């Protein structure tokens, strides 16, 4: 029985109606799931995190290749199905809850097709943790923003923050036809490997706050886009203009700043 047939059968048997707002669409291409496992070089020493376990197809395949799978699923209806589907798999820990708030045991790799609705939160959550490798399927547009070229429409906070924390590779184009129900967009398989930051900053909190604030006004020059950042630091209005005009890159537009430029600018405040 194909994964598409299994999906339709499980949905019918459990009277499960996928919720679009939760991004509930299930990968039904076995070759895609097997490639994801291969991209992560899974072995019997690995503890693998899967976020959005869905109907358990990837979970089953992972359990055959690794030491342990930590499968997280927020939808109680799917957890009920997963308990039935994964029954007897001794090396699978099923956790019900939101990945952003539940306690997750240590893991060294992550392989997932997370719901599109949590792409950004789950990426930033992951980048704050120690891991060896992550292979994730993201919406095509989101994945392209992770590696956006400076000055392009794809370049933004996501690009700079990811570049600072990890090496990113776009590995595999994924047609929407490989999911059921079929989403409105295509996807890309992404591999992340953490690394030491390629440049040093004195205060990472200031750096990330500056990146986040400036990119809300990406087309403005730094001297203008920096105003909310200065205001949050209690700088008086009469001093803002003088300070803003004295900054590095004050006459460049935000989208023209390289990640290293953001680092240098943050160090002025640190």
Q: Which of 156, 120, 96, 153 is nearest to 23 (CA)?
A: 120
How far apart are the C-alpha atoms of 112 and 123, rounded to whole Å? 11
Domains of the chain by range and CATH?
3-194 (3.40.50.150), 204-269 (1.10.8.100)
Q: For residue range 90-110, what is the model confidence (pLDDT) as tens digits?
A: 999 999 999 999 999 999 999
- Angle at CA 153, nearest 5°, toward 152 and 159? 75
pLDDT given at position 21: 75
pTM greater than 0.85 (yes/no): yes
Angle, in degrees to the nearest 10, between helices 204-214 and 259-269: 120
- Cβ atoms < 10 Å from Cβ of 134: 25
Least confident residue range of 69-83, 116-130, 235-249: 235-249
- For all residues of the chain together, what is the average pLDDT? 94
pLDDT at 252 over 90: yes
Cβ proximity of 146 and 188 under 8 Å = no
- Cβ atoms < 10 Å from Cβ of 36: 25
Least confident residue range of 18-22, 133-137, 153-157, 242-246: 18-22
Mean pLDDT computed over 264-268: 94
pLDDT given at position 232: 79
Calculated CA dihedral for residues 198, 189, 59, 42, nearest 10 degrees: -50
H helix or E strand, kind and range, residue 105: none
pLDDT at 124 over 90: yes
DSSP assignments along 188-216, one per residue = EEEEEEE---SS--S-HHHHHHHHHHHGG
Q: For residue range 30-77, what is the model confidence (pLDDT) as tens digits?
A: 999 999 999 999 999 999 999 999 999 999 999 999 999 999 999 999
Q: What percent of the chain has pLDDT over 70?
A: 100
Question: Do you find a cis peptide bond into 165, omega within 30 degrees of 0?
Answer: no
């Amino acid at each position: 029985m194909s994964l598409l047939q299994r999906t339709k059968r499980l949905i019918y048997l459990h009277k499960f109606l996928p919720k679009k707002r939760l991004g509930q669409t299930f990968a039904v291409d076995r070759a895609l799931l097997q490639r994801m496992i291969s991209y992560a070089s899974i072995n019997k020493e690995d503890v693998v995190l899967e976020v959005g376990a869905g109907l358990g197809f990837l979970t089953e395949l992972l359990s055959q290749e690794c030491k342990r799978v930590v499968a997280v699923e927020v939808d109680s209806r799917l957890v009920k199905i997963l308990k039935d589907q994964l029954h007897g798999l001794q090396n699978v820990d099923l956790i019900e809850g939101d990945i952003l708030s539940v306690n997750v045991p240590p893991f060294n790799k992550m392989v997932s097709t997370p719901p599109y609705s949590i792409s950004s939160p789950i990426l930033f959550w992951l980048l704050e943790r120690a891991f060896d490798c992550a292979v994730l399927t993201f919406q095509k547009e989101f994945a392209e923003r992770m590696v956006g070229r400076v000055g392009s429409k794809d370049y933004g906070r996501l690009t700079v923050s990811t570049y600072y924390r990890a090496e990113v590779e776009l590995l595999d184009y994924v047609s929407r036809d490989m999911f059921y129900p079929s989403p409105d967009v295509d996807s890309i398989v992404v591999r992340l490997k953490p690394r030491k930051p390629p440049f040093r900053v004195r205060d990472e909190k200031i750096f990330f706050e500056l990146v986040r604030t400036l990119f809300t006004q990406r087309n403005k020059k730094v001297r203008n886009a920096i105003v909310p950042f200065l205001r949050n630091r209690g700088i008086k209005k009469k001093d803002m203009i003088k300070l803003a005009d004295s900054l590095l890159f004050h006459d460049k537009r935000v989208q023209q700043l390289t990640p290293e430029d953001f680092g240098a600018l943050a160090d002025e405040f640190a």
